[in-house]
Structure 1
Amino acid sequence: MSLSPGSRILFVTDTWRPQINGVVTVIEHLKEEIERRGMVVDVLDPSQFLTVPFPLYTEFRLALFSWRNIRRRIKDGAYDEVNIHTYGPMAWYARAACIRLNKRFTMTFHNQIHLYAEVRFGTWARKLVEKLIYYFYSPAALTLVTTRSAQKQLLGFGLTRVSVWPLGVDKQFFTRGVCPRVFEKPVFVFLGRIAPEKNIEEFLSAELPGTKIVIGDGPDKKKLESQYPDVVFLGYQTRERLVSWMCCADVLVMPSRTDTFGLVIVEALALGIPVAAHSETGPKDIIHNGVNGYLDEDIVRAAKQCLSLSPDRCRDSVKNYTWSKSAETFLSVLQSARGTAP
């Protein structure tokens, strides 16, 4: 059976509103675009169950006791596709339920959790989690990744059914607004979660002229605010407010080495803001040196070089990253995998 108007799709995620992160953004846009095509999209998320806080990040809630309800939802939901987005208890329960019910399912690879583990615990943890990634994803009919680099990485882990599905950027980012405040120029911005895996301290300690701004929140925010009093911390911003504050930027600095795509990269480029980053999965799939940013081990050098780049060329480089095209590709790769479940 092909995916068509009336088809039913279930997204399973361990992260959902009020959390603000890339996974939530992706699911929201996919759901909207797929429903425009006449399909039914349900989201199974922690808010529907009793939860407990995750010790490392207390804002994340874990649905530890949801196994039976998840199995029932999958069994009784008459879904044509079950797509699992995360690594938490709900993802594991949904995976187990589909296997027991002999129901095909697909998965998406959003976070390089093996690199998160290395940042926090060392090389031994990364190697262990790489093996867990293979175990976790291998039963899926298809694993979707957002870049060629991520696909190559998962194939290197031993997975065989991996397809690329690029993300999109909200159309509001293609209209540049006005910065709400006057800052000393040039303005360098970090946008993302304030946590060790984002390598934010490389940005905060960088010797850059002008002003450094951090947009986002996370477990390290209070500590880093006190350590770096000359940096402007704006906290979480969304929608029009986010666009306005981003319009203050001359350069987006992305020091993270653990992203799979870096949604903030295409959002910045859509606003005509060049990006300085390391040559890692995500940035190296989007950034072209001298066109829309610079990739360099020296993040300061990359950031300064970005000041000479054309905003128009930055915007042009991501004009094809739309959520409509992203949804079309998502449905297309799901359709191509139908009938291939192990």
Structure 2
Amino acid sequence: MRMLIVTDAWRPQVNGVVHTLEKLAETLATTGVDTEFLTPSGFRTLPLPTYPEIRLTLATRRMVSRRLNALAPDRIHIATEGPLGMLARRVCLANGWSFTTSYHTRFPEFVRARFPVPESWCYRWLRRFHNAGQAVLVATPSMGEELAARGFKNIRMWSRGVDTELFNPARRQDLGFPRPVFLNVGRVAVEKNLPAFLDLDLPGSKVVVGDGPDLARLKARYPQVHFLGVRKGEELATIYASADVFVFPSRTDTFGNVILEALASGCPVAAFPVTGPLDIIAGHEEGVLSQDLREAAMATLQLSREAARKRALEFSWVNCARQFVDYSLPKHGRR
């Protein structure tokens, strides 16, 4: 089987969407599924205003149609609602091809944080975009319930996985910062709500791993915080395992792959009780959810690192890949 995934989010971006799609393709390959990607690579692009790391594809419907026909996939999945995703959707509808979509980003909230655009306008457009497909895949039940209440149809659960060999408590060591170490990993951008973490009065050290458009501003505003930039692979895994609490201040993520990476590393999580954390933090042993983030962070210091690891072991990339294939349809096989 040849699977085509259309995505506007791609390398060199470092985010949950790119990571998920890369791990998905890697896992699908072990099951005999050949995954191709249609990405901004190979097209002219321009930077997204206020967020230059994201490149917007400059293409036409005819150009995308030629690419789709040349790749000749058996099944098509449109992962993002950007210019490339919109063009691929138009081509599929014009040809009567079945396709699925996925909801990775709270796009209306992302836009509102940067421009004075009502969320209702964006949700109306997103509903039309996703309801044209045969299924819209979401990572959590709470996200599915929210979208269903907004009129989205054919919602299916598509979970996530974590590399429990790479992210492992055995990598724990002294980072050289005063303990306890409170860690955040992710894009340094307005939608991640980082000041909610950085403003907290906490003992020990605050560490932030990642890059983004707000990095320079936040480094200047919080000189006492250790901003480490982008870290990958074993170096990143060591940082996770060596932290005492993972603090996740975002209120707009649809899942939070970094939460799983922290748990797999034996690092309990403090977060707000919102979509993502609510679905991953199943009990009170691996994390604390509270509207008072400082209270959650301090209480998390008392939690079991073994319980955090145990929870992460319940998430598998194999199961993620199986769900993805089960929900897809042959290109010419509309329901």
TM-superposed CA distance for 1:132, in Å, is 1.3
Residues 75 and 101 of structure 1 are in contact (CA less than 8 Å); yes or no, is this contact kept in structure 2?
Answer: no
Corresponding residue for 1:193? 187
Deviation, structure 1 residue 181:
2.6
Cα drift, residue 77 of structure 1: 2.8
Matches within 5 A, 1:11-90: 11-90=5-84
Matched, 1:162 2:155: yes
Q: Which moved more, 1:244-253 or 1:174-183?
A: 174-183
The 5 Å alignment of 1:127-138 reads 127-138=120-131
Tell me if structure 2 keeps the 8 A contact 1:176–1:243. Answer: no
Q: How does 1:1-342 map to 2 (within 5 A)?
A: 7-121=1-115, 125-171=118-164, 172-179=166-173, 181-334=175-328, 339=333, 341=335
Give deviations 1:123-177, integer Å, cap 9, x for gaps.
x521111111101111001110000011111111212201001100013113531
Q: Distance in 2 between matches of 1:336 and 1:89?
A: 24
Cα offset, 1:319, TM superposition = 0.7
Deviation of 1:119 after TM superposition, in Å, equals 2.9
SS at match of 2:113: helix
Partner Cα separation in structure 2 for residue 198 and residue 279 of structure 1: 15
Query: What's the CA shift for 1:55?
Result: 1.4
What is the CA-CA distance between 1:338 and the residue it aligns to?
A: 9.3
Relative distance call for 1:337 and 1:291 in structure 2 (3 A) is: farther
Q: Which runs of 5+ in 2 are unaligned?
A: none
1:63-118 deviation digits (Å, cap 9, x = unpaired): 12253221112234321211011121000000111001110110011001122233
Distance in 2 of aligned mates of 1:120 and 1:179: 39
TM-score when normalising by structure 2:
0.95
Query: 1:120 aligns to what SS in structure 2?
Result: coil
Q: Tell which deviates more after alignment, 135-144 or 67-76.
A: 67-76
CA RMSD of superposed structures (Å): 1.7
Structure 1 residues 182, 338: CA separation in 2 closer, same or farther (over 3 Å shift)?
farther
* Residues 337 and 173 of structure 1, relative CA distance in 2, 3 Å threshold: farther
Separation in structure 1 between the aligned mates of residue 34 and residue 52 of structure 2, nearest angstrom: 32
| Secondary structure of residue in 2 paired with 1:242 | helix
* Structure 1 residue 192: Cα displacement: 0.8
Which structure 1 segments of 5+ residues have no match? Answer: 1-6
Q: 2:96 is matched by which residue type in structure 1?
A: N
Give me the whole-angstrom Cα distance separating, in 2, the residues matched to 1:311 and 1:33.
28
In the alignment of these two chains, the number of paired residues is 334
The Cα of 1:336 is off from its aligned counterpart by 11
Identity %: 39
- Mapped partners of 1:313, 1:281: distance in 2: 21
**TM-score under structure 1 length normalisation:** 0.93
Question: Could you give the per-residue CA deviations for residues 306-328 of structure 1, whole angstroms, max 9, x where no partner exists?
Answer: 00100111111121212112111
1:58 is paired with a residue whose SS is strand
Report which stretch shifted further, 62-71 or 221-230.
62-71
Highest RCO, 1 vs 2 (Cα 8 Å, sep ≥ 6): 2
Distance in 2 between residues matched to 1:160 and 1:167, nearest whole Å:
21
CA offsets 1:207-255 (integer angstroms, 9 cap, x no match): 1111000011110101110110100000011111111122221000001
Q: Distance in 2 between matches of 1:179 and 1:55?
A: 40
